[in-house]
Structure 1
């Protein structure tokens, strides 16, 4: 067991990505496509122009925030599958507030909208945390249920807005750049992409969350409760309070991701059939990062490249974008099966050790024979 756990998470994650790409290549071959051409077109589509680079960075933004949120909850022993609903609440609250209050001259509206969206996500995350702390309710069940509750409440809010705020029956009017997170400097530097100040916010917040989790009493308590709730309680920590705070912080980060989607990427909000998928993608990013905050940034970059680059694959090489989903899903599978990867590495090392021992024994026997 010690040998199996001795391999760094970085090595295991890198192998998971490699194996995912290999499986994707095999699927391409079976489907009649050239995997080399497919992956080259993916890279070219992601980095071939400043516009695409800007879109990659833009796509990273909510992934960084939702992954950080998942990591905080996971550190406290929670599996926050409600990130998608928390993203939706942050998106809804912030965008509706700006839509109904903003004019180009009202500078204060954007900061207030960001704060309100973040608080909305925090409350949505704190509810299942409180239910778990007070009644032992499974956060997996409560967050899944809450995803649907906030989704349909949000859709009702959107369709109930006065007509002057709507561009269609199910979509709000687009915000102007002056009433959003858009910054012309970033857009101009990246060929007119949708890159916005949300990316800068995400990087700063990721560093802040690292500091909280690694350098503060709150972070220590969250990790202590996640490792052993009984021991944390015995040490004088309030496990219930810490659990609620951890889920609230997790939800706040997801809510902020929703803010960047509404005020930075789409500039509106519209009726949706499911909660935003970026919440689930953030979970995958966090799992691939394996508890590393630097890993979150790198994993978010990988997923963003797969997302943006995959859109250009059919045009360049004819490979359908669905195969990118196969690669992504396979990477997640191997991350989930990290024990199998670690076990395989141990067996390879044991095999190498045996081969080395046999070679040394042969060399020693040959030396003795020559001496004789």
Structure 2
């Protein structure tokens, strides 16, 4: 059994184990797991509206997962994706409401503003890590709170004291009447195409460019990379900037697509934190992130149907997601079992 097959089997087995133990949790709690999973399935694939909403939910998860995965691949742990997503959301919403431009300019401008805002929020922990060796986990966690409260204050400022920004103009919107009619008036938008384009962009950078080679090398061993003549500090900063840009675009999906505005929030969206699990489930690979984001987006949206159809509380779905993450995190054990089974098969 090749390593590639084992890498594919570990998340699949983790999901199956998570769903099985989740069924046990539902049974012990007095709920019917069969009805529960049927309701979950219907919530995801029940009709074109549900499928449209599910795909819409997946878009920001892909970008949040890419942000975490990119940092992981280059030896960094970006816990600040949530904050980077929030500032990207605000930047996209502000540009989408403050300017009168043709759509061919306005929409790319709003997306670029979101990416730049996220990149700036990633630059700060990157430069602190590179110059002063301040651990990026601590800085990025703190910057999540700075982002939340700073953006809340900015929303009040730009809205004249209101609790939300104005509606994003049509010229900056990712929504379309065609997609809305196609999916029975769901909020599906073209953000999924942006997210998939960024998947290809990450793969291209890491696998086909000299910059990507250097970024991965610094992540594996910064001392050896420096000895080989690479600029370690520059690559650390660049890694966090690119990671932050992915996260900022995740915020743009919400500003320009799902909601069309940004409101003052008392707490985090959770998308950035879920991005850690998405990246983990996807083994920090671009293609794997699509898989992980599809699972999380589907579970998050489909869960809304479980209380209505099966009378099962949303907390049960949170438990199932946590179980899947647990088994993915315990992937080493699954890997050992698979390798032992493979060795026994070869011995026979």
Where on the TM-score scale, by shorter chain, does this alignment land: which range?
over 0.9
Give the whole-Å Cα distance in 1 for the aligned partners of 2:83 and 2:75. Answer: 20
Give the whole-Å Cα distance in 1 for the aligned partners of 2:269 and 2:4. Answer: 37
Question: 1:8 Cα shift?
Answer: 2.1
Question: 1:12 Cα shift?
Answer: 0.7
Is the 2:159–2:165 contact (alpha carbons within 8 Å) kept by the matching residues of 1?
Answer: no
Partner of residue 209, structure 1: 202
Partner of residue 89, structure 1: 87
Alignment of 1:255-294 (within 5 A): 255-294=248-287
Is the 2:23–2:33 contact (alpha carbons within 8 Å) kept by the matching residues of 1?
Answer: yes
Pick one of 128, 133, 140 that aligns with 1:131: 128
Partner of residue 60, structure 1: 58
Partner of residue 317, structure 1: 310
Question: 1:173 Cα shift?
Answer: 2.9
Alignment of 1:187-266 (within 5 A): 187-266=180-259
Give the whole-Å Cα distance in 2 for the aligned partners of 1:124 and 1:176. Answer: 26
Question: 1:316 Cα shift?
Answer: 1.2
Is the 2:96–2:169 contact (alpha carbons within 8 Å) kept by the matching residues of 1?
Answer: no
Question: 1:214 Cα shift?
Answer: 0.6
Give the whole-Å Cα distance in 2 for the aligned partners of 1:291 and 1:106. Answer: 34
| Residue aligned with 1:108, SS | helix
Partner of residue 22, structure 2: 24
Partner of residue 157, structure 1: 154
Give the whole-Å Cα distance in 1 for the aligned partners of 2:186 and 2:244. Answer: 28
Give the whole-Å Cα distance in 2 for the aligned partners of 1:153 and 1:187. Answer: 34
Relative to structure 1, the CA distance from residue 6 to residue 309 in structure 2 (aligned partners, 3 Å threshold; closer, same or farther) is closer
Higher-Rg member (1/2): 1
Give the whole-Å Cα distance in 1 for the aligned partners of 2:288 and 2:104. Answer: 35
Give the whole-Å Cα distance in 1 for the aligned partners of 2:122 and 2:293. Answer: 22
Give the whole-Å Cα distance in 2 for the aligned partners of 1:4 and 1:24. Answer: 30
What TM-score do you get using the length of structure 1 for normalisation?
0.88
Is the 1:45–1:311 contact (alpha carbons within 8 Å) kept by the matching residues of 2?
Answer: yes
Give the whole-Å Cα distance in 1 for the aligned partners of 2:99 and 2:232. Answer: 40
Compare 106-115 and 214-223 and name the one that shifted more.
106-115
What TM-score do you get using the length of structure 2 for normalisation?
0.94
Give the whole-Å Cα distance in 2 for the aligned partners of 1:132 and 1:176. Answer: 39
Is the 1:60–1:199 contact (alpha carbons within 8 Å) kept by the matching residues of 2?
Answer: yes
Compare 153-162 and 336-345 and name the one that shifted more.
336-345
Compare 35-44 and 174-183 and name the one that shifted more.
174-183
| Residue aligned with 1:276, SS | coil
Give the whole-Å Cα distance in 2 for the aligned partners of 1:162 and 1:262. Answer: 15
Pick one of 88, 112, 124 that aligns with 1:115: 112
Question: 1:107 Cα shift?
Answer: 5.4
Is the 2:180–2:188 contact (alpha carbons within 8 Å) kept by the matching residues of 1?
Answer: yes
CA RMSD of aligned residues (A): 2.1
Is the 1:85–1:276 contact (alpha carbons within 8 Å) kept by the matching residues of 2?
Answer: no
Question: 1:131 Cα shift?
Answer: 0.6
Aligned residues: 348
Partner of residue 67, structure 2: 69
Give the whole-Å Cα distance in 2 for the aligned partners of 1:176 and 1:322. Answer: 37
Question: 1:296 Cα shift?
Answer: 1.1
Partner of residue 39, structure 1: 37
Question: 1:332 Cα shift?
Answer: 0.8
Give the whole-Å Cα distance in 1 for the aligned partners of 2:275 and 2:332. Answer: 22
| Residue aligned with 1:80, SS | coil
| Residue aligned with 1:232, SS | helix
